[in-house]
Amino acid sequence: MKKKKKILLVEDNPDDAELVLLSMESKKIESDINIINNGEQALDFLMCKGQYINRDINDLPDLVLLDLKLPKKSGVEVLKEIRKNETTKYLPVVIFTSSNMEQDIKQCYINGANSFVRKPVDFNYFQTAIEKLSNYWLVLNEKYNLE
Give the binding site for other proteins (CB under 8 A).
Answer: 13, 15-16, 19, 22, 26, 68-69, 97-102, 119-124, 126
Q: How far is the CB of 101 from other proteins (least distance, A)?
A: 5
Cα separation values, 130 from 23, 107, 134, Å = 7, 23, 6
Q: Which is nearer to other proteins, 51 or 100 (CB)?
A: 100
* CB closer to other proteins out of 69 and 84: 69
Backbone angles phi, psi at 37, to 5 degrees: -100, 10
CB of 54 to other proteins, least distance (A): 34
The CA-CA-CA angle for residues 65, 134, 79, to 5°, reads 20
Residue 22 or 48 with smaller CB distance to other proteins: 22
* CB closer to other proteins, 80 vs 119: 119
Q: Which of 96, 80, 91, 90 is nearest to 12 (CA)?
A: 96
Question: Least distance (Å) from other proteins to the CB of residue 18?
Answer: 8
Residues linked to residue 116 through DSSP beta bridges, in sequence order: 95
CB of 48 to other proteins, least distance (A): 30
Length of the chain (residues): 147
Nearer to other proteins, 112 or 120 (CB): 120
Minimum distance of other proteins from residue 9's CB (angstroms): 15
Q: What angle do CA 104, 63, 84 make, to 5 degrees?
A: 60
The answer to whether 20 and 129 have CB atoms below 8 angstroms apart is no
